[in-house]
Chains A and B, each alone.
Chain A
Amino acid sequence: MFKKILIVAFVFALFSSINAGPLQAAEGAAHPASQEWTTDGLFGFFDRKQLKRGWQVYSEICASCHSVRLVYYRHLEEIGFSPDEVKKIAAEAEVAAGPNEDGETHNDGELIVRPGKPFDKIVSPYPNDLAARAANAGALPPDLSLMTKARKNGANYLHALLTGYKEAPADFKLTEDMNYNPYFPGSQIAMGEPLSDDGVEYADGTKATVDQMSKDITAFLVWAAEPELEERKRMGVKVMLFLIIFTAMLYAVKRQVWAKLH
C-alpha cells in the first residue's frame, strides 16, 4: 500500500516537473487573466463569425504593421468567406509578382505588380525586416501567424497585452517612443496601443469595444496559428472513444487469458 502511494506521488511529481518549464521570459511581467475561448477544451471549435470579425480587425488595423506570412488568401474560405469574397479580398492587395507571362519586367527591372489572387500569400506590409524597422522607430513588428503558439499561454497573453495599456506609474522610467504595458516583458513596448473603441465598424453589427476587438483578433490569430485545431479535436474525440472501448476489451481478454493460470 505504502509503496503504491509513493509510486503515485512519483508520477505526480514527474508531471509537475514536466510542466515546470523555464521561468517565463516574461519574468516580473503581470500574469494574464484566463479568458474563455471557443477553441478550449476537448470539444473546442472555431466560431466562424468571430474569426471573420477578427480578420476585419487584422486587415483594418494590425495589417499596416504586422504580416501573417504563413496564411494564404485561399485559407480565408475556411473561416466562412465565399470563394468570390476571397477573390475580392485578394484583389485589393498588390502582389509583386515578378516577370509576367511573357517574361517581361518593367524596363528598370522592377517587378511587375498585379492584383492578388486566392493562391497568393496574404501580402505583408513591408518588403523586409529592415523596411519594417525603419517605419517603426527601430522596432520590429513580428509576424503574427504563429504568435499564439510562440508565447506561453498564447491566447490569454495576447488578449491581456492588447487590453493592458496603462498610464505608466510615476516611478517608472519610460524610454522615448515606448508605451507602458505591464504584460510585456520589461513593461514597455514599442507598439502603441493599437485598439480603441469603435476602431473598426463591424460588418455584422457587433459593438466594437476594445475588449471585443481584442478577443476577436486573438481568436483569428489562434486560427492562423493552428488552422487544424478543430479537425484535430474532433478526430481526437473519436479516436479516444474508440481506444477506451478497445482497451476495455483488451483488458477483458487479458483477464480471460490469465484466469486459466490460477
Chain B
Amino acid sequence: MLGRHRKEASLCEERDGRIVFHIDMDAFFASVEVMCRPKLRGKPVIVCGKPTTRSVAAAASYEAREYGIRSGMSTVECFRRCPHVVAVEGNPGQYIYVSLELLRIYKEFSTIVEPYSIDEAFVEMTGTRCTWKNCEGVALEIKDRIGRRFPGLTASIGVGPNKLVAKMCGSMEKPDGVTVIRPGGFTEVFGDRPVTDIWGVGDKTSLALSMMGVDTIEELARHPVSMLRRRFGIMGEILHMMGAGRDDTPVTPYYEGMPVKSMGHEHTLPADTWDIAEAEKVLLRLCDQVARRMRKKGYLGNVISMRLRFSDFDSVGRQKKIDFYTDEERTIYKVARELMHRHWRPGHSIRLVGVNCSGLVKVPEAVQVDLFRQKEEVSHRKLLAAVDAIKDKFGESAITRARLVSLNRRMWDAGRRVSEPRFQKMSLGSTERQYHSIMAGFHDNKANVDTRPLPPGLSSSPFDMLRHQDVEDKARR
C-alpha cells in the first residue's frame, strides 16, 4: 500500500509537482481552553495536570510564552516566571474531540489526510483543485473554516512540494501564518540554516555531521552522498535528500498505513506508593484495559512489557516474550506481575505503572484447543464475552473485579474532589495515545458515538469521553 502511494506521489511530482499542506494548530491545548472559557482570552494561560499536584505545562498560550514559559516546564517554574499565569487543568476528551473535528474539516479539501499528532496533520493536495497558483488562497480557506467552526482557534499552514518542506516551512510564521515554498525554493530559504533545523535531525546526527565539516543545510546537500552513506548507512542517503529538500514519503491516511504494533496503558498513581500490593492492583486494572482493547480490535499478542517509574523519575521497563499468543488479562497480568516483582526496587516508591502488549497478530480463524484447560477455557471465554458485553452497553466501569472495587472507589473519590467532570482524571500524557487508539474508528465513522446522556460516573473509554463531552458542550451552550 505504501509502495503504491509512493509511486503515485512520484508520478504526480513529475507531472505537475506535488502539493502538500502541513497544518499545525497554534498552542492547541491552551487555545481550546481559551475557546471554552472566553474570560481567559488575552491572558497568559498554561494547561497542566491537576494544579495542586506536581505537574508540567503541556501547553502555553502565546501570551504566556512572552514570559518565557514553554511547554514541558514545571508549573512551579511557570508561576515563578509569570505569577499571574492562569493554570488550567487539561481536558483530554475535549482536545480529542476538537482534533477529530479538525480532521473532518481537512477531509473536505482532500481525501488523503494524515494525522501526525493531536494538533498536526499532513494533507496531500495533489490532484485537488489546489494548484501552485491558488494554494495560498486554499490555505486561507482552510484557516477560515477552522476559525468559523472553532472561534479563536488558529492554525499555521506550511505549503511545500513534499512533507519535509511543508513541515519545515509551517513553523516559519507562527502563529496564524501561511508559508509557501515552491519546488526549487528550499535551498534559497533554508540553505544557510544549521542542519538541526531539518525535521528529524537531532543533536547526535548534527554532531556527527559537524565532524564531517557539514554545518548548514546547503553543505549537507552538497556533501558527497557516498561519504554520508559510509558514515550513516542507509540514513546517509536520506540525509542527503533532506539537505536538498527532497522527500518522497507519501501522506498516509491513518486507516491505510501503520498497522498497530502494540497496545498498552500507563497510569500515574494519585500518590506515590511503597506498597507493591497497591501497585499490583493498578497493574491488574491496566491489564484488564489492555486485554479488553485487544479483544475489541481483534488482536493477540505474545510480548508483554511492564514499566515502573519511581518517585525519583527513574524508570525501569522490561519485557518478556511468551510461547503463545493471548488476549486474556490473566496471562498478561501473570507475566507483567512477575516482571514487576523482579524489577521493583524495594524502598523506592512507585509513581507510575504501565503495561504493554506487542507482537500483535490478528485473531486467527482457528483456535488451538487445550488438553487440560478445554472446559475451563470455554467457560473463561464466555465470562470475558459477558463482561465485554456489559462494558459495551453500560460503560467501562459498569463492572469491575471485586479486588479492584476499593481502588476504583479511591480513584473516583479523587476525581470527585475536583469539580470538573470525570474524564479529567486521565493524565495529559495519555491524551495522544488515546487519540491514536480511536483514530482507526474515526475513519470508519465508528467515533460517531451516540449522544444519550450517561448515568453519572460512567465513563472511562475515549468514546465515552467524547459522548460525555458532547453532553457537556450542549449544556454549556
Question: A and B from one assembly?
Answer: no
- Identify the A interface with B (CB < 8 A): none
- Identify the B interface with A (CB < 8 A): none
